Amino acid sequence: MLLEVQGHLNLNTVRCIALQNTAGLARGTMAQSTGAPVLVPVGDAVLGRLLDVVGQVHDLGPALPADTPLRSIHNPPPTLEQETSAIEVFETGVKVIDLLAPMAQGGKAAMFGGAGVGKTVLVMELIHAMVEKYRGISVFAGVGERLREGHEMLSDMRDSGVLARTVLVYGQMNEPPGARWRVAHSALTIAEYFRDQKRQNVLLLMDNVFRFVQAGSEVSTPAGPLPSRVGYQPTLGSEVAALQERIASVAGAAVTAIQAVYVPADDFTDPAVTTISSHMDSMIMLSRQLAAEGFYPAVDPLASTSALLDPLVVGVEHYRIAERARETLARFKELQDIITLLGVEELGASDRRVVKRARRLQRFLSQPFMVTEAFTGTPGRTVARTDTLAGVRAILDGETDAWAESSLYMVGTLDEARHKEQASPQATHAAEEPAK
């Protein structure tokens, strides 16, 4: 059993955090100091493996080689001299994210949402983007996840061919809070090794970083500090910062982090949620209403934001198209009550045109995913940012006003939607006239 010293109470007594199951631990059990911090295996040997917080293998495969390098899970963040200030957009292939909440190489993005809105599916899709497009390394941190989910993900990745460049690190839901608290640090340590020693781009995915905060609260309570707001630990801010500040770009390589954040009771003012969001470059808000209406990914285009959505970063054309899309969707939202009460026919010509294009834009921003292909039977699509911009511009300019809305639903590029439209019976929407 491995314990980590949390504090020295006196010369002969220390307070420890259990990183493994404590069954059988009794008063008087002999303890031995390792003389070192918690170490995890790193390097090429861990690629394609499922590990726990201390680096033990749980995928029924062979043990790691004896010469596998070890590294402490506690490392300082890169210095200001080591960090690079260059900003490069990380293309995910997910239309709504690349358009309205672009992510940065070496940046941090959070996906906020309650249970059942698609956070884990979106995380898995982004692993495909890193492996297939950037040929980088993906490290998945399952914070408080079920080990069954880890084995399912391992099997899915093996079938899809991305496992050879992925590391899975899990702290199980039933494990002591110390394991769930430190597993994020273990995964980040592996990611840092590939960035610093191998000079490879790394995508670090955490699901769910809210459970990291919960585990920290469980560890903090027996230690004695008085709880802070809503019962969270008083060190909440410093604990989150110690983890997030290690995620950065250095010359030649970057760790890009995407973190799923559970929002308790859909309350975005929760202290844990606000603390986590303060460190993010991009915030992707998942909407339960959009999920209920069948729009996947259920990303709220109006609530999602990104510091990169700036003409100096993404370019003037991208910025203008994104702003036009937001304005159209915002106006459509304002008109919802009127439409519900009076119907679309009572709107003016310009507002009817807004409604027509907003509804088509909503459907175009939906997208079938690679990771759900086996369940839905619909081939997944990865869309280049240039194709996304071209499609959105065409919709906003009215080029698809005469098309059936269904032609734009769950497609990749606009060309695919055009083929779908041409193949559909014209009678289904012949009566639909574009608003003047």
Taking only the tens place, the pLDDT of each residue in 31-61 is 999 999 999 999 999 999 999 999 999 888 8
Residue 149: band (very low, low, confident or very high) from pLDDT cuts 50, 70, 90? confident
Rounded to two decimals, the pTM is: 0.86
Both structure tokens of 172: 């199980």
Average pLDDT over residues 312-338: 95
Catalytic-residue membership of 152: no
Residue 436: band (very low, low, confident or very high) from pLDDT cuts 50, 70, 90? very low
CA–centroid distance for 204 within its chain: 9
Catalytic-residue membership of 119: yes
First vs last Cα of the chain: how many Å apart? 73
Between 414-423 and 385-396, two packed helices, what is the crossing angle to 10 degrees? Answer: 50
Residues 190 and 169 sit within 8 Å (Cβ to Cβ): yes
Catalytic-residue membership of 146: yes
* Distances from the Cα of 240 to the Cα of 55, 252, 307, angstroms: 22, 26, 20
- Which run of H or E residues covers position 147? helix 147-160
Could you tell me which residues come within 8 angstroms of residue 39 by beta carbon, excluding any fewer than 6 positions away? 55, 70, 71, 72, 73
Mean pLDDT value across the chain: 89
Indicate whether 425 pLDDT > 80.
no
Residues 137 and 201 sit within 8 Å (Cβ to Cβ): yes
pLDDT value of residue 167: 94
Instruction: Tell me which residue of 95, 155, 153, 181 sits closest to 411, measured CA to CA.
Output: 95
Taking only the tens place, the pLDDT of each residue in 284-306 is 999 999 999 999 999 999 999 99
Residue 70 vs residue 379, higher pLDDT: 70
Taking only the tens place, the pLDDT of each residue in 182-227 is 999 999 999 999 999 999 999 999 988 999 999 999 998 777 777 7
| Annotated active-site residue in 146, 148, 199, 320 | 146
Both structure tokens of 358: 């907003």
With 0-12 CB in 10 A as exposed, 13-18 as middle and 19+ as buried, what is 81?
A: exposed
pLDDT value of residue 426: 57
- Which run of H or E residues covers position 125? helix 119-133
For each of the domains in the chain, give its residue range(s) and CATH number, in order of start. Answer: 39-307 (3.40.50.300), 315-428 (1.10.1140.10)
Please give the full DSSP string across 339-353, using - where no structure is assigned: HHHH-GGGS-HHHHH
Strands (E), 75-156: 89-90, 103-104, 108-113, 137-145
CA angle 304, 309, 311 (to 5 degrees): 160
| Annotated active-site residue in 4, 91, 125, 145 | 145
Could you tell me which residues come within 8 angstroms of residue 122 by beta carbon, excluding any fewer than 6 positions away? 94, 111, 260, 284, 286, 297, 369
pLDDT value of residue 24: 86
| Annotated active-site residue in 108, 119, 165, 195 | 119
User: How far apart are the C-alpha atoms of 321 and 230, rounded to whole Å?
Assistant: 41
Indicate whether 435 pLDDT > 50.
no
Residue 161: band (very low, low, confident or very high) from pLDDT cuts 50, 70, 90? confident
